[in-house]
Structure 1
Amino acid sequence: MADYQTMRGTAGVRTAAIDEGLKAHMNKVYGTMSVGMLLTALAAWAISGLAVTTDPASGQEMLTGLGQAIYASPLKWVIMFAPLAFVFGLSAGINRMSAATAQMVFYVYAAVMGLSLSSIFLVFTGESIAQTFLVTAIAFAGLSLYGYTTKKDLSGFGTFLMMGVIGILVASIVNIFIASSALSFAISVIGVLVFAGLTAYDTQRIKTDYIAHAQHADSEWLGKSAIMGALSLYLDFINLFMFLLQFMGNRE
């Protein structure tokens, strides 16, 4: 009986330690993601301000030299696809990086994403961007909370959701050339649904990965895991925001 009580007490201590570690891990994930979001917002706002000027003669807004370079030259394609290259590079090289290096790469990626997204300030009003961001933040918080607390196993949705992401990516590239408004609307609807699902799915995956590795994972692995978790949730938030903006954004 004494041995049983000792075992149960030891198990309780171990469970409590895992719970505390999980809270710290999730705080690191959300904290890293939040810093990335802040860098993206600041970069997008600052670059959009530098890209537009007012013509003193007519009083109309016009692109500066920087604006012409990043929005109206072949460089725009590099800027458009640079964040995608960063994601693949970080995912492929994470095992060879230190946690500190991976975090720095993530922050650089977030700033580059801000450059890529800066054009939304030229297309949509600032008020509608702010409103959409607030709605996205509320929806994201609710979906992530559901993924963290639900007892339902969401792992079965992973393959389906990733197929949806690939389909959206292919359709978006095709629509660059055909410019179909109907296809654009369909992509936006599907995009909201897919990334809403991914927000809950990724949150649960980050939680279960930590629990599975907590007892034997070292601090370096946990640091890298938190960064990759932050990257996943960051991408979910950004894509959810961009697709919602197509519905809620008021154009300039």
Structure 2
Amino acid sequence: ANGPGLIMQALGGTAIIFFALSGYVLTTKKDFSFMGGFLMVGLLVVVIAAIANIFFAVPAVSLAISSAIIFIMSGLILFDTSRIIHGGETNYIRATVSMYLNLYNLFTSLLHLLGVFNSDD
């Protein structure tokens, strides 16, 4: 597939994931603040794995890291949206930056996976 097509697929996938998860939080009114500890540990593991993969350069680990980031960012979208709705986050600038980073990391990881699976190599 070509570059612009992959970017549009990643953008569409990111939008679908974001709106589906945010819609789920809005309709269920469930509090997802319990996920904070799991997500922080997951982020720490992914960062350590990414640093290790800089030195070892294993393609399968790179795919696993991108997949893990997609799941962790999806969880963080649930977590952050829930905190915004239920009043746990009162600093809206921090909430906006956090949501932006969730979306950016989700988009780039999805783009990486789509690029690998659609390559002709």
| TM-score of Structure 1 vs Structure 2, range by shorter chain | 0.7 to 0.9
Q: What's the offset of the Cα at 1:251?
A: 5.0
Is contact 1:145–1:200 with CA below 8 Å preserved after alignment? no
- Aligned partner of 1:175 among 53, 75, 81: 53
Question: 1:152 corresponds to which letter in structure 2?
Answer: K
Distance 2:83 2:13 in 1: 24
Structure 2 stretches of 5 or more lacking a match? Answer: none
The whole-number CA distance in structure 2 between the counterparts of 1:234 and 1:181 is: 27
Aligned partner of 1:156 among 30, 34, 37: 34
Q: How does 1:22-33 map to 2 (within 5 A)?
A: none
CA distances 1:155-184 after superposition (whole Å, capped 9, x unpaired): 111110111111111211211121111211
Structure 2 residue identity aligned to 1:181: P
Q: In 2, distance between residues paired with 1:200 and 1:160?
A: 13
The answer for the alignment partner of 1:218 in structure 2 is none
In the alignment, structure 1 segments of 5+ residues that lack a partner are: 1-123, 213-221
Q: Please tell me whether the aligned partners of residues 73 and 102 of structure 2 are also in contact (alpha carbons under 8 angstroms).
A: yes
Give the root-mean-square deviation of aligned CA atoms: 2.1
Aligned AA (1:173): I
**Amino acid aligned to 1:247:** L
CA distance in 1, matches of 2:28, 2:105: 23
Q: Which of 100, 104, 107 is residue 238 of structure 1 equivalent to?
A: 104
What's the CA shift for 1:152? 2.3
Work out the number of aligned pairs and report it: 117
Shift of 1:231: 0.8
Q: Distance in 2 between matches of 1:155 and 1:208?
A: 9
Partner letter of residue 37 of structure 2? T
Amino acid at match of 2:108: M
Aligned to 2:13: 135
Given candidates 213, 226, 229, the residue that maps to 2:95 is 229
For residue 68 of structure 2, the aligned residue among 178, 181, 190 is 190
1:127 CA drift (Å): 1.9
- The code of the aligned residue for 1:231 comes to V
AA matched with 1:227: I
For the pair shown, the structure with the greater C-alpha radius of gyration is 1
Aligned position for 1:125: 3
Q: Is the 8 A contact 1:148 1:200 kept in 2?
A: no
Dislocated runs of 4+, deviation >6 Å: none
1:147 to 2:25 alignment: yes
Indicate the SS of the match to 1:209. coil
- Residue 236 of structure 1 aligns to which amino acid in structure 2? N
